[in-house]
């Protein structure tokens, strides 16, 4: 008899971390020469709106259009390097401890942990590695032959597209969706929640809270930030990598590359 394979799918923003992941990296992208000061100010305003009001479908569409125009011409490898070099600085203060505990619980139970986000893959994949996730599903901006963003999307990790990608992963990896879990804060992720057997609302917006009550779905509140490197001492590769970035900030990129390659050797 084969063992049923299952996974836990986590939204990222306001579910695992307390802010918009894309906006959180505004200052590092500015320091890297990719963002203007005006864009940083607009990002700060967008963050306030995101936290106080939430991101409904209309707001998300505006964000999508604005982001694509803003990043047009950026190089995806440069963005990924900036994200990796500043992960500890940016992400550690805004990770929910409750989310880390759930991730650990699912992995102890033998379930894969997958982060599913509308943020770009260049942001989500390093975050997934940093958090110990097994895989990610994220927006993929289209790039030209030099790796520069064209202003179009190859895949948009939002709404029904998230659910479609989860079903495709389940088919590919032999996952039993009725045994899978999904966690999110936004009603725009209703298709993702309905794709699995165990949907859970986390810090839900008003519409998701209403839907969860109507459907008798569990509602969780995450509000306790923790330092990741203090919470995950058993993940030596991740913790050591974080330590290298902190201690050797001046040569962080080179040491990160060496560490990752030595670790995989």
Domain match, 150 and 240 both? no
Please state, in angstroms and rounded to a whole number, the distance separating the CA atoms of residues 25 and 124.
Answer: 12
Please state, in angstroms and rounded to a whole number, the distance separating the CA atoms of residues 175 and 101.
Answer: 22
Catalytic, out of 11, 88, 185, 189? 11
The bridge status of strand 112-120 relative to strand 198-202 is unpaired
Residue 13 is a catalytic residue: yes
Q: What is the pLDDT of residue 246?
A: 26
Domain match, 219 and 237 both? no
Cβ neighbours, 10 Å, residue 217: 17
With CA atoms as reference, report the closest residue to 14 among 53, 65, 64.
Answer: 53
Q: What is the pLDDT of residue 56?
A: 58
Q: What is the pLDDT of residue 148?
A: 87
Q: What is the pLDDT of residue 63?
A: 62
With CA atoms as reference, report the closest residue to 19 among 56, 44, 38, 41.
Answer: 44
Tell me whether residue 253 is in a domain.
yes
- pLDDT, tens digit, 9 for 90 and up, residues 24-54: 555 656 566 655 555 544 554 454 444 444 5
Residue 216 is a catalytic residue: no
Secondary structure tally for the chain: helices H, strands E: 14, 7
Could you tell me which residues come within 8 angstroms of residue 102 by beta carbon, excluding any fewer than 6 positions away?
8, 10, 183
Tell me whether residue 203 is in a domain.
yes
3 state DSSP class of 47: helix
Please state, in angstroms and rounded to a whole number, the distance separating the CA atoms of residues 23 and 26.
Answer: 5
pTM: 0.72
- pLDDT, tens digit, 9 for 90 and up, residues 154-204: 898 889 999 999 999 999 999 999 999 999 999 999 999 999 999 999 999
Domain around 202 = 7-225
Domain match, 159 and 257 both? no
**Where would I find the beta strands (DSSP E) of 42-145?**
112-120, 135-143
Tell me whether residue 62 is in a domain.
yes
Burial category of 144 from C-beta neighbours within 10 Å (exposed 0-12, middle 13-18, buried 19 and up): exposed
Which helix (DSSP H) or strand (DSSP E) does residue 26 occupy? helix 26-31
Greater model confidence, 14 or 3: 14
Q: What is the pLDDT of residue 46?
A: 53
Could you tell me which residues come within 8 angstroms of residue 251 by beta carbon, excluding any fewer than 6 positions away?
none
Query: CATH number of the domain that 144 lies in?
Result: 3.40.50.1000
Q: By the 8 A CB rule, do 102 and 121 touch? A: no
Domain match, 248 and 144 both? no
Please state, in angstroms and rounded to a whole number, the distance separating the CA atoms of residues 24 and 47.
Answer: 8
Q: By the 8 A CB rule, do 91 and 24 touch? A: yes
Tell me whether residue 2 is in a domain.
no
Domain match, 158 and 174 both? yes
Domain match, 217 and 249 both? no
Tell me whether residue 1 is in a domain.
no
Q: What is the pLDDT of residue 218?
A: 98
- DSSP labels, 183-214: EES-GGGHHHHHTSSEEEEES--HHHHHHHHH
Which helix (DSSP H) or strand (DSSP E) does residue 17 occupy? none
Catalytic, out of 13, 88, 185, 189? 13
């Amino acid at each position: 008899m084969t063992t049923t394979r299952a996974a836990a799918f986590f939204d990222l923003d306001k579910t695992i971390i307390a802010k918009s992941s894309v906006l959180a990296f505004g200052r590092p992208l500015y320091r890297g020469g990719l963002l203007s000061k005006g864009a940083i100010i607009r990002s700060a305003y967008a963050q306030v709106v995101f936290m106080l009001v939430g991101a409904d479908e209309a707001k998300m569409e505006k964000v999508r259009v604005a982001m694509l125009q803003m990043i047009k011409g950026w190089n995806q490898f440069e963005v990924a390097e900036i994200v990796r070099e500043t992960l500890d600085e940016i992400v550690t203060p805004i990770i929910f401890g409750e989310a880390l505990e759930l991730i650990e619980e699912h992995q102890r139970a033998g379930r894969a942990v997958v982060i599913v986000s509308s943020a770009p893959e260049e942001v989500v994949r390093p975050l997934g590695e940093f958090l110990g996730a097994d895989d990610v599903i994220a927006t993929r901006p289209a790039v030209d032959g030099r790796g520069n963003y064209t202003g179009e999307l190859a895949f948009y990790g939002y709404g029904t597209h998230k659910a479609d990608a989860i079903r495709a992963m389940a088919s590919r990896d032999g996952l039993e969706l009725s045994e899978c879990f999904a966690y999110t804060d936004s009603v725009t992720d209703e298709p993702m929640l309905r794709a699995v057997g165990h949907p859970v609302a986390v810090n839900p917006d008003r519409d998701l809270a209403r839907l969860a009550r109507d459907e008798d779905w569990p509602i969780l509140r995450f509000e306790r930030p923790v330092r990741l490197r203090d919470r995950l001492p058993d993940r030596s590769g991740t913790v050591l990598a974080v330590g290298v970035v902190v201690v050797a900030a001046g040569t962080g990129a080179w040491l990160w590359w060496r560490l990752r390659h030595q670790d995989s050797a």
